[in-house]
Structure 1
Amino acid sequence: MKKIPLSILTGICLASMAQAGEDYSAKAAPAVAPAPCLWSWFAGGSGGYVDDWDEDMWTLHLGKEYKCPDKGSSHAIFLEVGYTDKDWSGDYYYDLGSGPIPPDYQTSDVRKFARNARFEYSMEVIPITLNYKYERPLWRSLNWYVGGGLGIAITEIDVELGNLKESDDETAFYGQLFAGLVWNLSDAFEIFGGARWIYMDSGLDDVNGMDIPGVLDDDIFYELGGRFNF
């Protein structure tokens, strides 16, 4: 008679243990899938100083950024338009023996001011580039970035040497390499600062045999800017 209650008790214990295992399995948290990588739009601009050019420069850009939340780094492609100009004047010594006299000038006119002439020029440069930027976290909300871009520069120059005047405009090859730091103030806005090396194959260092000083080429552009993320 004692064996029957013992068997019943054993069965109840086993059933309870099985039920407990089922309840635990049911309450286990499901695996969370990683957030997907996304493309997002951004727009911004910057301003700064170009060293050898010795003038301010301004830029505006619009692009898309590809970012995976679980990796931290991002890749961006953006179109940028810039603007800078320069006005310069000074005394100019034109040595008739060092270069050809422009064919549309009379030799007698050139000799009137060849030895000591007032030289002035005004130049505008509008670079348009397609750029790539790679960005990675550095510390908390601070990131670092590197990148580069290629495109064209629309240039226009007006030159006056004494009573001679010349104008020239062209589209030149333009390239740049850049690096800097980004501070993410929020998910929607960030500020950045850095430097760019600029190369422009303008050919405007010489207009009708007259050397043009301070042409924008092989210069460093120091910039500070902001960017909105959408």
Structure 2
Amino acid sequence: MKNTLVTMMTGLALAATAQAGEDYSAKAPPVPVAEPCLWSWFAGGSGGYVDDIDNDMWTLHIGKEYKCPGSNCSHAIFLEVGWTSWDEGDSVYDYGDTSNPYPNYDLDYDFDVIPITLNYKYECQLTNNLNWYIGAGAGIAISEIDVSVSNGNGNFSDDDSETNFYGHIFAGLVYNFTESFEMFGGVRYLYMDGTDDLLGVDVPGVLDDDFFYELGARWNF
């Protein structure tokens, strides 16, 4: 009987020791949840040089960027407003009217142009801080036009406000100084419809078939 009791006590002790060695706190590792793609706001502006009209152009924009965690590329949609001006003089000789004693005309154009566009931009990473981008946009250009014609017979002038189709394509590089601030530089090809005739003079689009070289900055929110 004594041996039986000792044997039972030994068995209980071994069972308790085995149970104490098991770790019931161990659980299966949680499955990681993928971070969602996000839209974020940005705003910025640029300034630069339009080669054909030999003048400055300035822009301001605001939009949203769509990016997924782990991706090196992003998509953006933004609204932009620009401004430029152009003064041009020219001389015309009227070969058609031989009876006109003053066939030489001096023409003077004065334009203020405000392009307003909705744009798409695709951007990808080159290095840690350097990205490249391409994009396109379309909208309208509001033009304030003053045209004057003068010759030996007097001066004539007219002014008008026009709204024409405007579009551009663009490409360039972006340097990220911080997560919230970046600078960019690039080139745009510009297209603008011509305006209506003024005083019988065919006025071309001020920003038609031009290249705009720009440098700008952008803040990300």
Matches within 5 A, 1:176-215: 176-203=168-195, 206-212=197-203, 215=206
Q: CA deviation at 1:124?
A: 1.1
- Distance in 2 of aligned mates of 1:141 and 1:118: 53
Match of 1:221 in 2: 212
**DSSP-derived class of the 1:203 partner:** coil
- Distance in 1 of aligned mates of 2:204 and 2:140: 21
Match of 1:120 in 2: 108
Highest Rg: 1 or 2? 2
- Distance in 2 of aligned mates of 1:198 and 1:214: 10
Q: CA deviation at 1:33?
A: 2.1
1:118 maps to a residue whose letter is D
1:144 maps to a residue whose letter is W
8 Å contact from structure 1 (residues 151, 173) kept in 2? yes
Indicate the RMSD between aligned Cα atoms, in angstroms: 2.8
Match of 2:83 in 1: 83
Matches within 5 A, 1:16-27: 18-19=22-23, 22=24, 25-26=26-27
Equivalent of residue 152 in structure 1, options 140, 160, 167: 140
8 Å contact from structure 1 (residues 52, 214) kept in 2? no
Which segments of 5 or more consecutive residues in structure 2 lack a partner in the other structure? none
Distance change in 2, residues 1:214/1:133 (3 Å): closer
- Distance in 2 of aligned mates of 1:219 and 1:152: 16
Q: CA deviation at 1:215?
A: 3.1
**DSSP-derived class of the 1:210 partner:** coil
Q: Deviations over 1:12-41 (max 9, x none)?
A: 78657643xx55x44x75343232211111
Match of 1:61 in 2: 61
- Distance in 2 of aligned mates of 1:53 and 1:10: 96
Equivalent of residue 118 in structure 2, options 97, 106, 130: 130
Matches within 5 A, 1:101-120: 111-115=100-104, 117-120=105-108
Q: CA deviation at 1:213?
A: 7.2
Q: CA deviation at 1:197?
A: 0.8
1:95 maps to a residue whose letter is D
Q: CA deviation at 1:11?
A: 5.7
8 Å contact from structure 1 (residues 38, 66) kept in 2? yes
Which segments of 5 or more consecutive residues in structure 1 lack a partner in the other structure? 102-106
What is the number of residues matched between the two proteins? 213
| Identical counterparts, % of pairs | 55
TM-score normalised over the length of structure 2: 0.83
